[in-house]
Structures are given as C-alpha cells and as structure tokens.
C-alpha cells in the first residue's frame, strides 16, 4: 500500500477547498511552499509527526486509512449512566455530524426500528419522557422517582438542539414499518402500570406521539425534496443510520439503546448505502403514495395509540391503579 498517496487522496477529498493543496499543507505543517510541494508531489515523504498533524486537522483516522481492508475500525458513543453523560452524548453526537451542515448534498438514511431520536428531542413532554426512560434503563439501577419529579438540565436541551439542527439541514430518507411506534407506546404503558407515570401525563404523551405522526404525514404531503418517508412491510428495521455526502460518509450501528458504533470506512459505508437503497426500492414511498395508502399507514398507527389510551383509561376506571 502506498500510504503517502492514500493520505494525500484522503486530504484532497476532505479539504473541500479551492485553495492549493500545497498551500494548505504548508500552512498546517508550518513549512515552506517548496517543502510542501515536495511532499504533495511525493518527492519526499511526510514524517510520522506530520502525518499525525494532517490527520488530526482533517479529522482522519490513521487506523481507517491504513488498514488492509480486512478489518473495520470503529469509534463508539459515550456510555450513559447520568444526566451529565446524556449531555456529553448529545454534544459529541452533534460534533460528529457538524461537518455535514456545510455540505449541501448531505443525506441521511434511517432504518427506524423505533421513532427516530430527532423526533423526540426538544421541549415537548415526550422528549422529557424519553430522557427519563433512557436514564432509567441505561443507569443499571432503575430510578424509582416518578416521572413528574424528573427534571432536565438546560445544557442538555442546548446540546440536543444542535443535534437536531443537523437532521433539519440534510436530506432525510426514513424507513418505517408497523412496529416503529411500538416501543414508545410500550414505554408509556409500562411506566403507567408501574405507578411512575400519572394517567393525565400518559394521555398527554400519547397526544405528543400523535403529533409526531401528524408532523411526519404533513412532511410527506408538503412537496419538500428534503424529506422522504418509506413504509417497508418485509424487513425488521434496526436503527442503523447512514449520513452521506460526496466528501464523506458516516455509518452509525446501534449496540445498546442509545449506544452506537461509528465508522467512516469507505467500503462499509458504500455497502450500507447500497443496502439502504435496496430497502427503499422494496418499500412504499409515503410521499408519492396516493391519499388512501398514506392514510392507511398513519391511521393504523393512530388506532394503535387509541387502543393504549382506552386501555389505560379503562384500567383506572376499574380501580386497577
């Protein structure tokens, strides 16, 4: 493998600048134009220290660049045990995706086993409930405080807002199926049954979930080229996320409820993109479907929510809780 050439190609792809590569290298390494020219023309080699400086500047992984293709090097998101961990998780996730804010051709593909994270971050009651659930389930020792006593740090909301800004900027392709809303509904019902969530708040959470469906349906109908929703009846979805542009790609593969392995390995991301495109090809576009098919999908989801609402109200009326 020509490691020098590999590094130069990665820098050219990542730099995205109209400036001369020689000027860029000279500036980063603090060397003369002639010295930079010799390195770019491969008449002399980068030292180890220079290669590290260039990789750090352009956010390149030397492990990824220089492996032989038989292994994939991954990063992973921070582990979450506390509210502070959650804030760090959102902050680091936003930073990893920030580069795509500058790229007009950026796209996101989301295999939505659960309602995508981006729908449940913000200032709604449901966003607060999701944080409550995640911290309960990820902390190891389940917090027995009621949801009504749960508070959210302001800094966490700021970091999550930055993460959502990436989602709002890129072209989004989401694949849903009939089970995508199930886990959120089951979480509401579980904490209600456990006595940790009051019926009035459970009903408000169900209404927030309905609003998410209304928002998604509205985006399908507004003629935007920035949002595409697909319905897949065949595959079990897995919450994989691929963010892609001409300059770079990042694949996020879940290993816990919120934990993701992250790779920018070119072959892996390309294969994932091909697989996403295959899923899309075998899915029904809810943007392009007629009113009947789109309403069938969303009405089925609304009916599922209504079933849980009646179930909880009935159990209270019968004195179960």
Q: Which of 304, 279, 285, 295 has the alpha carbon at shortest distance from 178?
A: 304
Contacts of 28 (CB under 8 A, 6+ apart): 53, 54, 57
Residue-level pLDDT at 281: 93
Q: Give tens-digit pLDDT for 79-96.
A: 888 888 998 999 899 888
CA 307, 309, 311, 313 dihedral sign is negative
**What mean pLDDT is predicted for residues 97-117?**
92
What CATH number should be reported for the domain whose range is 3-66? 1.10.260
Q: Would you list the DSSP string of 5-46?
A: HHHHHHHHHHH--SS-HHHHHHHHHT--HHHHHHHHTTSS--
Share of the chain above pLDDT 90, in %: 57
Alpha helix stretches (DSSP H) within the chain: 3-15, 21-29, 33-40, 48-58, 62-66, 83-97, 125-138, 154-169, 182-193, 199-221, 266-281, 291-317
Alpha-carbon span 271 to 266, nearest angstrom = 9
- pLDDT category at 265 given cuts 50, 70, 90 is confident
Residue-level pLDDT at 155: 80
pLDDT of 110 higher than 90: yes
Alpha-carbon span 258 to 27, nearest angstrom = 39
Token code pair at residue 214: 């209304």
Q: Which of 297, 15, 321, 16 has the alpha carbon at shortest distance from 175?
A: 297
- pLDDT category at 315 given cuts 50, 70, 90 is very high
CA dihedral 278, 284, 286, 288 (to 10 degrees): 90
Number of neighbouring beta carbons within 10 Å of residue 278:
11
Number of neighbouring beta carbons within 10 Å of residue 107:
19
Q: Give tens-digit pLDDT for 1-39.
A: 578 888 888 888 877 655 688 988 999 999 999 999 999
Residue-level pLDDT at 274: 95
Classify residue 235 by its DSSP letter.
S
pLDDT of 141 higher than 60: no
Alpha-carbon span 262 to 246, nearest angstrom = 18
CA dihedral 76, 82, 85, 86 (to 10 degrees): 90
Number of neighbouring beta carbons within 10 Å of residue 210:
17
Look-up of token digits 């950026």: 106
Residue-level pLDDT at 229: 97
CA 249, 172, 229, 212 dihedral sign is positive
**What mean pLDDT is predicted for residues 265-287?**
93
Task: Delimit the CATH 1.10.260 region(s) of the chain.
Answer: 3-66
Q: Is 96 exposed, middle or buried (0-12, 13-18, 19+ CB in 10 A)?
A: buried
Tell me how long the chain is.
Answer: 321
Q: Please, what is the Cα angle at 222 between 220 and 226, to 5 degrees?
A: 70
Q: Which residue has the higher pLDDT, 239 or 72?
A: 239
pLDDT of 75 higher than 70: yes
Token code pair at residue 170: 């890129």
């Amino acid at each position: 493998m020509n490691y020098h050439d590999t590094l130069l190609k990665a820098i050219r792809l990542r730099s995205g600048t109209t400036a001369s590569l020689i000027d860029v290298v000279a500036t980063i390494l603090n060397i003369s134009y002639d010295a930079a020219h010799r390195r770019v023309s491969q008449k002399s080699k980068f030292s180890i220290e220079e290669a590290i400086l260039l990789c750090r500047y352009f956010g390149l992984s030397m492990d990824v660049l220089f492996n032989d293709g038989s292994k994939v090097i991954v990063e992973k998101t921070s582990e979450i045990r506390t509210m502070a961990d959650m804030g760090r998780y959102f902050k680091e996730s936003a930073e990893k995706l920030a580069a795509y804010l500058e790229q007009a051709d950026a796209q996101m593909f989301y295999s939505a086993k659960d309602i995508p994270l981006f729908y449940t971050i913000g200032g709604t009651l449901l966003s607060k409930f999701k944080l409550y659930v995640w911290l309960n389930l990820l902390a190891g020792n389940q917090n027995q405080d009621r949801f009504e006593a749960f508070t959210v740090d302001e800094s966490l909301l700021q970091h999550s807002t930055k993460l959502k800004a990436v989602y709002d900027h890129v072209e989004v392709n989401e694949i849903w199926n009939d089970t995508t809303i199930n886990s959120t509904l089951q979480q509401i019902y579980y904490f209600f049954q456990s006595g940790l969530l009051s019926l009035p708040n459970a009903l408000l959470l169900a209404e927030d979930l309905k609003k998410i469906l209304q928002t998604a349906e509205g985006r399908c109908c507004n003629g935007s080229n920035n949002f595409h929703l697909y319905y897949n009846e065949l595959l079990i979805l897995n919450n994989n996320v691929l963010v892609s542009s001409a300059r770079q790609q990042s694949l996020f593969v879940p290993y816990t409820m919120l934990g993701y392995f992250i790779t920018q390995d070119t072959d892996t991301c390309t294969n994932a993109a091909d697989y996403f495109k295959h899923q899309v090809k075998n899915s029904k576009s809810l943007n392009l479907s007629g009113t009947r098919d789109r309403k069938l999908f969303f009405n089925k989801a609304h009916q599922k929510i209504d079933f849980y609402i009646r179930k909880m109200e009935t159990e209270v009326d019968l004195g179960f809780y």
